[in-house]
Amino acid sequence: MADAKPQGFSLKQYLKKTKLWKSIFRHDFADSPRTRLQRIFGNVFLHLHPVRVAKDALRVTYTWGLGGISFYLFLLLTVTGILLMFYYRPASMLAYQDIKDITFAVTLGRLLRNMHRWAAHLMVIAVILHMVRVFLTGAYKPPREYNWVVGVILLVMTLFLSYTGYLLPWDQLALWAVTVGAQMAANSPMLGNEGPFKLPFITTSNDARFALVGGTVIGDATLIRFYVLHCMAVPFLFTLFLAVHLWRVRKDSFSKQTGEKVDVWPHLVSRELLATILVTVILFVWSILLQAPLESEANLNVTPNPSKAPWYFLGLQELLVYFDPWIAGVVLPTVIVVGLMAIPYIDTNPKGIGYWAKMEWRRYGPLPVWYPAERPFAVSIFMLGVVMWFVLIFIGTYCRGPNWEWYWPWESWSHRRITKLTLKNIPNLWGIALMGGYFLLGSPFPKQVKERLAAIGGPKAPALASTALHMGLGMLLSVALFVPLLTAPDLDYPLRSRYTTLFEALGHATNAPVVMAMYQLVQQAGRVVGYSLIALLVLAIGAGLGWLGLRFAKFKDRLCEELGLVKYTIIISLYLMMMGVLGKILLRLLFGIKYLFSLPVFNFNI
């Protein structure tokens, strides 16, 4: 700063006193605590910040700046989006041509479009990672429960923004990705024309898909609908929720409060600036090196094989292999979103706020396990869910080719490859037993029951009853799985599905490895020995499952006592549902089971 010695007339000093100067530059620029404060107070864009913030909260490794980066990406997408809107007309006759114009004729148009596209992908990733960070640092815990819910809403809106934008280029990629998504709406329970228990007045022209697509087929009506949603409606709502989200961050205070307080200007503002520049540089390079895809013009008569949803929905599309669309496309996403929202209300563990979940290496039998020390249950289920989500996305993106068959990422696709999987439905009663037994495994032994049992049968009675219950359920599961496998007619479900299993790709010749192994056993060892061995195996698996349940019995009882029955039921149901998804995948891959329960009349299959 130039020192201002009073020496006669200084134009600068004169100007600084004018009202015009003061209207534009509202404060002095000398670096004093007063101006640092004024910079935050007096600036509409910066005043969402507090004036001072805990030093430790500024550590990059605490937040990785993910929330701020998500917000910046939203701004960047708004700016690039507005610029793109100048060149784009949402009509099926014009849209594709306009994208070609943007690519080939508009000055910097290609860069603009690339940036918009990659920034959208990056924003989805950033928002998800932000959520993971908030979870792992316990920042959703009181008093920030509500803001977590707002954050989940913002996540859903981010995905929906990206999805609605996907259609706009009006190429084959767009059309068929949106078709996959819209088809899920058609499978909503009750409200979808192809869903289970559809209401009597629901037809193709008034179901959930119709509402999304604006017609019975994707066309101009869909394009204008998605355009308005993408450019106006959702960004408007997004901004509202974003305002709430940021405001709540201020009101609920930051989750990290250790360390001395430092001024936000310059400490936080400079870091934010650096983060935005870094993200811009990354996006710039990304957009220069990689072109946004644009395939042939959309054509409803030509279905590419495979048709894939946008990548962030590919996990759900991959689940379509194992579940009917109403589960994979409607119920599971709903459960995921509601379950995420419920987290702060059911997780009452007060520990773990303001620092990353503590991990340590522990020995589990012979295996070293990276174990979360403080919130083992919460951290492991949440991370299992996140990892499952991304593994499914990876499989859907890189491991699925024509006819949704399994291809390793380095394999080239072939439309000539044909594989066959013969599947079986489990008879409904067995299926109910199987699912019922599975969910009952989550039931605790409440204290009162234990006391009554001890009163009646002596001190050992509760333990015995618990053992009996778990072993019984384990046996039930095992028996309900294997008996129908052995007794139901082998081609109960004659559909020749073309899905490849992982095991086929690994070189196992058969589609249902367990069934074939049992068959071979009986063939080789003779009926008596073979079936006895199978019976032994069934008992052993039952005992194993029972033992597993028993090992967690104490944990379940403690959890139930701490949380109360309602919260416990919610948490254990969510947990069992998530593991159930994994279980159903294994049932199909290993046992060749399609449905556990099937009511074809109502289009209701599990």
Partner 1 sequence: MKRLLFLVLSALLAVLFVFSFVEDSTREWTGYQRRFMNTLERAERRGVSTGIQQVIVSDLRKVDRCTTCHLAIDRPQLALAEEPFTSHPALPGEVNKDGDPTPFIFHPIEKFGCTSCHGGQGLATEVKAAHGDVAHWEDPLLRGPLVQASCRQCHGNTEQIREHVPMLLEGRELFKAKGCYGCHAIKDFGQTVSVDLAEVGSKSYLLMEADFEMMPHPHDRIHWLKRKLGHPRTLNPGLRPEELPAGEEEVFASAMPYFGLSEHEVDALTVYLLSLKASNLPASYVTQALPEPEPVYASEIERGEAVFVKFGCTACHGIGGVGGRRNVNAGLGEEVPPLLYVKAYYEHDVESLKNVIRNGRQPTPRANPHRPRPPLYMPAWKDRIPEEDINALVAYLFSLSDQLPEAPPAPAEVPADTASN
449 scored as a contact of partner 1 (CB under 8 A): no
307 scored as a contact of partner 1 (CB under 8 A): no
Pick the closer one to partner 1 by CB: 248 or 271.
271
**Minimum CB separation from partner 1 for residue 308, in Å?**
15
Q: Name the one range near partner 1 by CB under 8 A: 72-80, 265-273, 329-337, 573-581.
A: 265-273
Strand positions, DSSP E, 467-544: 493-497
Q: Name the one range near partner 1 by CB under 8 A: 11-19, 174-182, 292-300, 588-596.
A: 292-300
97 scored as a contact of partner 1 (CB under 8 A): yes
Strand positions, DSSP E, 198-333: 261-263
| CA–CA separation, 474 and 469 (whole Å) | 9
Contacts of 170 by beta carbon, 8 Å cutoff, 6+ apart: 92, 95, 96, 99, 223, 297, 298
Q: Please give the residues from 166 up to 205 whose contact with partner 1 meets the rule CB under 8 A.
A: 171-172
Of 44, 212, 236, 234, whose CA–CA distance to 156 is shortest?
A: 234
Contact with partner 1 (CB under 8 A): which of 4, 15, 85, 108?
108
491 scored as a contact of partner 1 (CB under 8 A): no
Q: Is 52 helix (H, G, I), strand (E, B) or coil?
A: strand
| CA–CA separation, 151 and 154 (whole Å) | 5
Q: Name the one range near partner 1 by CB under 8 A: 100-108, 152-160, 317-325, 563-571.
A: 100-108
Size, binding site for partner 1 by CB under 8 A: 37
111 scored as a contact of partner 1 (CB under 8 A): yes
Pick the closer one to partner 1 by CB: 75 or 288.
288
- Burial (CB < 10 A; 0-12, 13-18, 19+), residue 364, is exposed
419 scored as a contact of partner 1 (CB under 8 A): yes
Count of CB atoms situated within 10 Å of the CB of 63: 22
| Cα 22–Cα 28–Cα 31 angle in degrees, nearest 5 | 165
**Minimum CB separation from partner 1 for residue 410, in Å?**
17
Pick the closer one to partner 1 by CB: 97 or 258.
97
Residue 314 and residue 159 in contact, taking contact as beta carbons nearer than 8 Å = no
277 scored as a contact of partner 1 (CB under 8 A): yes
Of 188, 228, 233, whose CA–CA distance to 208 is shortest?
A: 188
Report DSSP state, residue 593.
Answer: B
Contact with partner 1 (CB under 8 A): which of 4, 243, 285, 535?
285
Residue 484 and residue 474 in contact, taking contact as beta carbons nearer than 8 Å = no
**Minimum CB separation from partner 1 for residue 306, in Å?**
12
Report DSSP state, residue 240.
Answer: H
Count H helices and E strands in the chain, helices first.
Answer: 25, 8
420 scored as a contact of partner 1 (CB under 8 A): yes
Contact with partner 1 (CB under 8 A): which of 301, 448, 487, 524?
301
Residue 54 and residue 259 in contact, taking contact as beta carbons nearer than 8 Å = yes
306 scored as a contact of partner 1 (CB under 8 A): no
105 scored as a contact of partner 1 (CB under 8 A): yes
| Cα 383–Cα 388–Cα 391 angle in degrees, nearest 5 | 125
Q: Name the one range near partner 1 by CB under 8 A: 181-189, 230-238, 408-416, 596-604.
A: 408-416
Residue 298 and residue 174 in contact, taking contact as beta carbons nearer than 8 Å = yes
477 scored as a contact of partner 1 (CB under 8 A): no
299 scored as a contact of partner 1 (CB under 8 A): yes
Pick the closer one to partner 1 by CB: 171 or 207.
171
Pick the closer one to partner 1 by CB: 53 or 134.
53
Of 265, 234, 237, whose CA–CA distance to 29 is shortest?
A: 265
Binding flags for partner 1, 53-92, as an x/- string (CB under 8 A):
----------------------------------------
**Minimum CB separation from partner 1 for residue 127, in Å?**
23
Count of CB atoms situated within 10 Å of the CB of 339: 22
Q: Is 219 left (phi over 0), alpha (psi -120 to 50) or beta?
A: beta
Q: Which residues bind partner 1 (CB under 8 A)?
A: 93, 97, 100-101, 104-105, 107-108, 111, 171-172, 270-271, 273-274, 277-278, 280-281, 284-285, 288, 294-296, 299, 301-305, 414-416, 418-420
